[in-house]
Structure 1
Amino acid sequence: MIRLLRIQAPGIPLERMPDLLNDFGGDAGELLDELDAELAAQVGRLAGQRESIARLRAAGAAPGLPPELASFLALFAASPSSGLAKFDSEQSVLLAHFAGEDGMSHVARFYEQLGGPDLILAVADISERFSRLGPDSTAQDITELIESFMTTFAPVVA
Structure 2
Amino acid sequence: MTKKKKLTLQQMLLRDAGKGLENFNKVFKTNVFKRASKIKTWNMFIHLVEQENISPAEALTIILKHLQKSTVAWNKYKIARDPDQTGAIMMLLDWQQKMGARKLYDHKYLKDFCTWTGYKRKGYSRFQDDLTTFRDAFGLKRKKKRVPYYKEKEFKI
Name the TM-score class by shorter chain: under 0.3
Larger-gyration structure (1/2)? 2
Specify which structure has the bigger relative contact order, considering alpha-carbon pairs within 8 angstroms and separated by 6 or more residues. Answer: 2
Q: If the length of structure 2 is used for normalisation, what is the TM-score?
A: 0.26
Indicate the structure with greater helix content.
Answer: 1
